[in-house]
Structure 1
């Protein structure tokens, strides 16, 4: 007697189909709960850290230690907080793009940059 070699594959397919079907039904039942999770304040708002932001964003142009690379050094610029905030908001003709820092965080970032020594 020869066995049909397709039977194990068919059984595996049928089991997979049944599992996917029931997991889909389970997901539909939990959809409202998952959607409400974000509205209940489940995620904490992280405070803005200018140094971390600079190390993630600014080093590509201003160099690893923000001491200059393809863009000028940010240390000892001699610019006031207001001047730095204006540059962060409007950019410069020299290549600094506007809008890299969220408007809510510009004052904090400007103060940090103006205090770099």
Structure 2
């Protein structure tokens, strides 16, 4: 008396598909709430429009992964501390990217403040 080994796999697959379906419905019902949460987590929304941009907070969220906790560089990523680049060159890199660094990590309206902050790192 051999049992069919496919039955448990079909049951698990059916359960998984049902779970995905119900979770997607939950996401559709809460999309406005999730969008508002994402804006606040990324530093967007009203806080950014109110002129309260904090370059260091943005750097802690987006720069330390590549440039290191103290911004002194690691591996192929250069140090931000004491950079020989001019403020205009930093603005260009922040806007357009260069090498492994993608452009657009800093909102356009905050590029000037971010470039000034990077230049102030000593």
Relative to the length of structure 2, the TM-score reads 0.56
Bigger Rg over Cα: 1
Q: Does 1:109 align with 2:111?
A: no
CA distance in 1, matches of 2:121, 2:103: 21
Q: Aligned residue for 2:64?
A: 59
Q: Aligned residue for 1:98?
A: 103
Question: Displaced runs of 4+ in structure 1, greater than 3 A?
Answer: none
Q: Unpaired runs of 5+ in structure 2? A: 1-44
CA distance in 2, matches of 1:72, 1:78: 11
Closer/same/farther in 2, CA of residues 44 and 104 from structure 1, 3 Å limit: closer
RMSD (CA atoms):
1.5
How many residue pairs end up in the alignment?
74
Closer/same/farther in 2, CA of residues 102 and 44 from structure 1, 3 Å limit: closer
Report the CA distance between 1:45 and its aligned residue: 2.6
Q: Unpaired runs of 5+ in structure 1? A: 1-42
CA distance in 2, matches of 1:69, 1:58: 11
